[in-house]
Amino acid sequence: MEYLAALIGPFFLLVVEKFLPYPYLVEEIFKFFLVKKPLDTKTVFILGLFFSISEAIFYIMNPVYSHRPMAYGIRFMAVTPMHITTLLVMNYFNQKKNLWPIGLIFAILIHYIFNSISI
């Protein structure tokens, strides 16, 4: 079930981000619910990969970037490790009793910093 949510999540998050334009906050809260229960590292890695693939597909469909085809691959290669890392961080802190808010805050900060310095 988590795999399906990771694949279709970015499509629904776009609507939310139209009204709340803070992707680092919206996406990390969504991904937090993907790893709400502690998962093994392999599963978390796959969830991050699926989320990135889905987001990349949506990015390709965005007409603003249609004139920059190289940006698709570069963005996917940059964003994938970030999504995997934030999921791993949240999963790690979810495994520790009562430390999940720290994991969510770290994930939001990682995503915010990434968006501030990336493509």
- Looking at residue 100, its pLDDT comes to 92
- Looking at residue 72, its pLDDT comes to 67
- Planar angle of CA 37, 56, 70, nearest 5 degrees: 145
- Looking at residue 69, its pLDDT comes to 62
**Interatomic CA distance for residues 27 and 88, integer angstroms:** 14
**Interatomic CA distance for residues 22 and 17, integer angstroms:** 6
Domain residue ranges of the chain, discontinuous segments joined by +: 2-117
- Looking at residue 2, its pLDDT comes to 85
- Looking at residue 94, its pLDDT comes to 92
Q: Which two tokens stand for residue 94?
A: 């979810």
Contact by Cβ (8 Å): 90, 41: no
**pTM greater than 0.75 (yes/no):** yes
- Which whole-number Å values give the CA distances from 57 to 7, 32, 65, 115, in the listed order? 10, 22, 12, 18
Per residue of the chain (119 residues), what is the pLDDT tens digit?
889 999 888 888 877 877 888 888 999 999 999 999 888 999 999 999 999 988 888 777 766 655 566 666 777 788 899 999 999 999 999 998 889 999 999 999 999 999 888 65
- Looking at residue 85, its pLDDT comes to 96
